[in-house]
Amino acid sequence: EIVLTQSPATLSLSPGERATLSCRASQNVSGYLAWFQQKPGQPPRLLMYDASKRATDIPGRFSGSGSGTEFALSISSLEPEDFAVYYCQQRSTLPKTFGQGTKLEIK
């Protein structure tokens, strides 16, 4: 199965700052990578799909990039509601797999 490794495990930033989260795949997943945001007590929420396409109603401050094995999620200017856990997911090959998550916390 394809292993996704996210870094860093925890990212401490202040509102207004820029965040960059990374996801590395153990094999080529082409562009078939998604990003999810999860807040405590809630199901995951789709942010990005196919590496760089924003899901419905996702604000423009979120952007995704990458292909193959290296991907990134950027948040241009952090809002208080952006502090959460972020997961990448590949759907290139079954089984689908998730990264272990990056916790974005308020500094």
DSSP string covering 28-39, please? --TT-EEEEEE-
Residues 38 to 77: which contact other proteins by CB under 8 A?
38, 43-46, 49-50, 55-56
Residue with tokens 């495990």: 9
**In whole angstroms, what is the distance from residue 90 CA to residue 3 CA?**
9
Q: Interface with other proteins includes 99 (CB under 8 A)?
A: yes
**Only segment of 17-25, 61-69, 71-79, 83-91 that touches other proteins (CB under 8 A):** 83-91
C-alpha count within 13 angstroms, C-beta hemisphere, residue 99: 31
Residues 6 to 35: which contact other proteins by CB under 8 A?
34
Contact set with other proteins (CB under 8 A): 1, 34, 36, 38, 43-46, 49-50, 55-56, 87, 89, 91, 94-101
